[in-house]
Amino acid sequence: MSYPQPRYLGDTGEASGTFRPASTPPELTMPSGTRVHYLGTGGSTGGAYGLYRWEMGPRTGGASPHFHRSFTESFYVLSGTVRLYDGKRWVDGVPGDFLHVPEGGIHAFGNESSEPASMLILFTPGAPREEYFETLAEVRAAGRELSPEEWTELYRRHDQFMV
């Protein structure tokens, strides 16, 4: 393994960091009450990665088993207990636990406990997942039921393959 090709070619460096205070409100609140903070998006990181803080209330469920073809996904538990599926088994992830899923890896997550839980979700490269989660929130908030064809199209657009 070696370092990637340089993307910055200057000689002196530059002041280009972005600070986000912890007090910044979430960009998305799901009908379940889950709050999603877009800490870094593919758009804001030049496509390098997407990083979200995912804050779930008690028994808010989560994602069913699925995989992606074009990006990896990693989960780091910050608080509470998060059910994580690694494609073979479900485990109760506790603070400090980490799950990395390469492209094609089946995975799922959720909060089935009676306590709140939070985690970081990292996508590499920076897939534009914001629209996917915002669409899910809109559909659920409106009480809409998508047809099988609509689900298929939504999943196709967002590199989501359910198993």
C-alpha closest to that of 160 among 83, 108, 100, 82:
108
Whether 4 is covered by a domain: the verdict is: no
Structure tokens at 15: 């002041």
Per the structure, the complete domain to which residue 104 belongs is given by 28-162
Whether 15 is covered by a domain: the verdict is: no
Q: Residue 46 is part of a domain; what is its CATH number? A: 2.60.120.10
Whether 21 is covered by a domain: the verdict is: no
As a whole number of angstroms, the distance between CA 142 and CA 138 comes to 6
User: How many structural domains is the chain composed of?
Assistant: 1
What is the full per-residue pLDDT of the chain (163 aa) written as tens digits? Answer: 899 999 999 999 999 999 999 999 999 999 999 999 999 999 999 999 999 999 999 999 999 999 999 999 999 999 999 999 999 999 999 999 999 999 999 999 999 999 999 999 999 999 999 999 999 999 999 999 999 999 999 999 999 999 9
Whether 6 is covered by a domain: the verdict is: no
Whether 17 is covered by a domain: the verdict is: no
The neighbour count for residue 157, using CB atoms within 10 Å, is 12
